[in-house]
Every structure is written in structure tokens, then in C-alpha cells.
Amino acid sequence: MGAASFPVSRRGYDQGEVRDFLRMVAAELARLQERERFLESELRAMQTRGMSGPGRLDEETVTTLLGEEAARVLSTARDASTQIRERAEESATRLVKDAADDATRIRESAILEAQRIHDDAQSDANAEVEMAKQQGRDMVNEAREYREKVLSELSRRRDAARAQIEQLLHGRDRLMNAFERARIASESVLDELHDAHDEPETLVNLAPTTG
């Protein structure tokens, strides 16, 4: 048992191997304790029969009664227990440190992620605002183009109406001139007819007379 080794996991020794070893050590200790109680019983019996002096079992007596091998096993088990406890403490310390490092890393990652989300949201909001502004500018431009188109159409129609009016006025002037010339001509004809009516109607008889 003194030469036992344990595979190392990510956060320390493999817990399953440690538990198996502890169960083996506990079984061996139970066996040795049972052996110790048996020997103590035998020793008390020997003392009762006057075969040994009074007193408690010391390390040397236990070594003598149990034998060098059993004493070595017991010492090895004690050393292994101490090593396991020390390793467990080291593993616990390492686990606490790893947990603290993980917590720090997670907190920093969360801060970075929150900042990224905030930046993305701000960027999206700015993009939406810019898009809305662009849409507003497009609408204004469309309205301006439509207004200019309407004004241009109105101006074209106004020019066409003005040209038509000018043509009508010019035609009216020509008609008025024609009417005036016709009036003057008719008056001249009437005057001539009137003058012809006022002249005496004298008939000259140019035939020869007989007598």
C-alpha cells in the first residue's frame, strides 16, 4: 500500500481511486485492530496467569506481538492517510483557486459580452436612425421632384393656354379687319346706288321727225 499511486484528473487525484484505496486501508486497519484486540485479550490472559507484568501495550510491545511486517503496514497506512489528507488539502486549495480563476474569467467574459451587446445595439440603433434619416431625405427629394414636375406641367399648360389665347386674339383681329373692310365696301356700294337713284331720268328722242 505504501507504493500506491493515483491517476491525476483535471482537478487533482482521481476520486474513485482514492476512495478505493481508503476502503482498502480501512479494511486493513480493521483487520489489524481486530488482531490487536485479540492480542490484548491474550496478553490480559497471560497477565492473569502471571506470565507478564501489568501495563498498557506500547509501540515496541505491539511491534513484538504483531510482527515487523504488520507494524510496517500500519505505519505505511498512517503515512498514506497523511499524504492523502495533504493531497486533498492541496487539491481543495487548487480547486478553490481554479474556481476563483474561472469566476474571474466568466465575469470578464460576461463584461466583454455585455459591452459587445451594448455596442451592437448602439450600432443597430445608429443604423436605424441613419436609415430613417435617409428615408426622410428620399421622401423630401421625391416630394421636391413631384412638386417640380407639377410646376413644370402647370407652366407648360399655362404657356399652351397663352399661345392659344394669342392665336384667338390674332384670329379675332383678322376677323375684325375683314368685317371692317366688308363694312366699308358695303357702304361704298350703297353710296353708289344712292347716287345713281338721285340723278334725273331724261330720255332723248333721237328719232327723225316727218312733217
pLDDT tens-digit series, residues 24-79? 878 877 887 787 777 777 777 766 755 444 444 555 665 565 566 666 777 777 77
Length of the chain: 211
Long-range CB contacts (within 8 A, 24+) of 198-207: none
Per-residue pLDDT at 139: 93
Whole-number Å distance between alpha carbons of 87 and 132: 65
What are residue 120's phi and psi, to 5 degrees? -60, -45
Mean pLDDT, consecutive 10-residue stretches, the chain (211 aa), reads 48 66 79 77 67 51 61 73 79 83 88 91 91 92 92 91 89 87 84 67 49 47
What are residue 49's phi and psi, to 5 degrees? -85, 5
Whole-number Å distance between alpha carbons of 116 and 111: 8
Whole-number Å distance between alpha carbons of 3 and 73: 11
Per-residue pLDDT at 196: 67
Q: Report the largest interatomic distance among the alpha carbons of the chain, rounded to a whole angstrom.
A: 240
pTM of the model as a whole: 0.33
Within the chain, strands assigned E span 8-9, 12-13
Per-residue pLDDT at 57: 52
Per-residue pLDDT at 210: 53
Residue 156 grid cell: 407648360
Whole-number Å distance between alpha carbons of 156 and 162: 10
Whole-number Å distance between alpha carbons of 93 and 102: 14
CB 25 within 8 A of CB 77: yes
Per-residue pLDDT at 29: 78
Q: Which of 28, 41, 26, 36 is nearest to 67 (CA)?
A: 36
Whole-number Å distance between alpha carbons of 22 and 7: 15
Residue 206 grid cell: 333721237
Whole-number Å distance between alpha carbons of 33 and 5: 25
Task: Provide CB contacts within 8 A for 151, sequence distance 6+.
Answer: none
3-state secondary structure of 211: coil
Per-residue pLDDT at 12: 53
